[in-house]
């Protein structure tokens, strides 16, 4: 404005208009760059099928933060359980308050075994359904370490290579619900029989059903690209999909897999392999159609730049740290199996507002669930004290 006033005094009104036009034009481009393409309506009714060991805890944190930002209701497990009935197929009564809330939840993102008719009893008709998949080879190694003490098939074997060399030696069909993590876990999470005989017709039929139920399937190997696509699909802002990795484990707990073991996974988890292969292809077609590779590269850069800014603002350490080094006991993540789940420390001296924002980014899922439960159902007796976010 001061430039324009000076320009008018000098008789340079045209120059003023030109500069104002260019400023508005480039500001518009900048806004378009930071915002999803076009004027996509903001999606607030979301069902995320939280598959196991696929970076789904990080997406859960994104959804919890979004729910808080827009004051949305979350379909939390009844009785403050951790899962929505898993490994049993989901039923509407597994959601806390379903008897009174009915089909009025906005967000569903806890672990469950998918059953579309029952989920539809809980979620509005305008709900967007999405999930995330992971290469079954790396998924098997991660599951083996994380569920080592939960799955009898894993517990009986020395390491992942020994298990895969002769899986039927350790895997017992009579222990079906205990061994869901040991074979075709993603197939099971989507509600199907993880021990089914995988004929081509059967597999293609299931894939068609998944495509009809879910509007979007993301890939954990391309997590940032997935966040760009998710943001574009839901009409969200950049900060809505910025994240810090949660439930990640120490590299020293990763087991090295032999080439023979990697190939064996594709046979042992053939149903998951076919599912992943199909949606890997459709993911990149969706990227081309909805975003394009040029804009994808720009927005991935934006996302990573913003993530780096927030990490420098919030975190005492530049990377996730060992659980023993997490100073605030309230921020220590749940530990499982032989995995060493990492956590974070916040910087000292943050303002209250900044600290609250940073806490939301690093809060482990069990603590965040406890906080949301207390916030959404203050009248319920709590098993544990809510996380002291405020």
User: pLDDT tens digits for 229-252?
Assistant: 999 999 999 999 999 999 888 898
Residue pair 371/363 in contact (Cβ under 8 Å)? The answer is yes
Contacts 24+ apart (CB under 8 A), 259-264: 260/161, 260/164, 260/165, 261/160, 261/161, 261/164, 261/165, 262/137, 264/164, 264/165, 264/167
Give the tokens for residue 378: 């203050």
What pLDDT does residue 339 have? 81
Question: What is the third-level CATH fold of 46-376?
Answer: Rossmann fold (3.40.50)
pLDDT at position 27 over 80 = no
Determine phi and psi for 350, rounding to 5 degrees: -75, 145
Element (H, E) at 219: strand 216-219
What would the pLDDT profile of 199-230 be if each residue is shown by its tens digit? 999 999 999 999 999 999 999 999 999 999 99
Geometric angle at alpha carbon 12, from 9 and 13, rounded to 5°: 90
Could you tell me the CA-to-CA distances from 192 to 52, 157, 187, 244, 299 in Å, in that order?
A: 15, 26, 6, 32, 35
Q: What is the spatial distance between Cα 96 and Cα 79, in angstroms, rounded to a whole number?
A: 7
Kindly state the DSSP code that residue 123 receives in the 8-state scheme: S
pLDDT band at residue 306 under the 50/70/90 scheme: very high
Give the tokens for residue 377: 């159902």
Lowest mean pLDDT among 24-38, 107-121, 125-139: 24-38
pLDDT band at residue 145 under the 50/70/90 scheme: very high
Residues ≥6 apart with Cβ < 8 Å to 67: 73, 74, 106, 107, 372
pLDDT band at residue 382 under the 50/70/90 scheme: low
Give the tokens for residue 16: 């003023």
Residue found under tokens 């859960």: 60
Domain ranges of the chain: 2-28, 46-376
Q: What is the spatial distance between Cα 58 and Cα 52, in angstroms, rounded to a whole number?
A: 12
What would the pLDDT profile of 58-101 be if each residue is shown by its tens digit? 999 999 999 999 999 999 999 889 999 999 999 999 999 999 99
* % of the chain exceeding 90 in pLDDT: 77
Q: Which residues pair with 315 in a beta bridge?
A: 346
pLDDT averaged over the chain? Answer: 89
Kindly state the DSSP code that residue 74 receives in the 8-state scheme: B
pLDDT band at residue 335 under the 50/70/90 scheme: confident
pLDDT band at residue 152 under the 50/70/90 scheme: very high
pTM of the full structure: 0.88
Helix/strand/coil for 109: coil
What pLDDT does residue 9 have? 45
- Residues 353-382, mean pLDDT to the nearest whole number: 92
């Amino acid at each position: 404005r001061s430039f324009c006033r000076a320009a008018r005094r000098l008789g340079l009104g045209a120059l003023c208009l030109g500069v104002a036009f260019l400023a508005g034009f480039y500001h518009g481009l900048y806004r378009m760059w930071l915002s999803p393409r076009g004027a996509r309506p903001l999606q607030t009714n979301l069902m995320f099928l939280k598959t196991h060991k696929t970076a789904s805890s990080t997406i859960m944190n994104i959804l919890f933060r979004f729910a808080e930002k827009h004051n949305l209701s979350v379909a939390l497990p009844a009785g403050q359980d951790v899962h929505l009935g898993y490994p049993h197929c989901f039923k509407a009564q597994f959601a806390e308050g379903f008897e009174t809330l009915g089909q009025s939840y906005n967000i569903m993102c806890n672990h469950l075994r998918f059953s579309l008719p029952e989920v539809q009893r809980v979620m509005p008709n305008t709900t967007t359904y999405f999930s995330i998949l992971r290469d079954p080879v790396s998924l098997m190694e991660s599951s083996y370490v994380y569920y080592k003490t939960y799955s009898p098939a894993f517990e009986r074997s020395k390491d992942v290579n020994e298990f895969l060399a002769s899986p039927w030696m350790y895997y017992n069909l009579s222990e079906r619900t205990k061994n869901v993590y040991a074979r075709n876990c993603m197939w099971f999470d989507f509600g199907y029989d993880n021990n089914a005989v995988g004929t081509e017709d059967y597999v293609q039929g299931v894939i068609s059903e998944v495509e009809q139920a879910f509007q979007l399937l993301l890939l954990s190997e391309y997590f940032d690209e997935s966040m760009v696509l998710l943001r574009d699909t839901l009409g969200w802002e950049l900060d809505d999909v910025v994240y810090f990795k949660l439930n990640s484990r120490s590299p020293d707990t990763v087991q090295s897999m032999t080439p023979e073991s990697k190939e064996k996974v594709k046979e042992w988890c053939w149903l998951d392999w076919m599912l992943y292969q199909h949606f890997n292809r459709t993911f990149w077609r969706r990227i081309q159609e909805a975003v394009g590779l040029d804009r994808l590269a720009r927005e991935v850069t934006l996302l990573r730049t913003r993530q780096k800014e927030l990490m420098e603002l919030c975190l005492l350490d530049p990377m996730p740290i060992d659980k023993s080094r997490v100073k605030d006991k309230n921020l220590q993540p749940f530990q499982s199996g032989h995995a060493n789940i990492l956590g974070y420390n916040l910087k000292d001296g943050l303002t209250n507002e900044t600290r609250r924002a940073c806490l939301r980014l690093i809060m482990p899922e069990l603590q965040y669930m406890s906080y949301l439960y207390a916030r959404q159902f203050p009248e319920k007796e709590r098993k544990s004290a809510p996380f002291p976010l405020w």
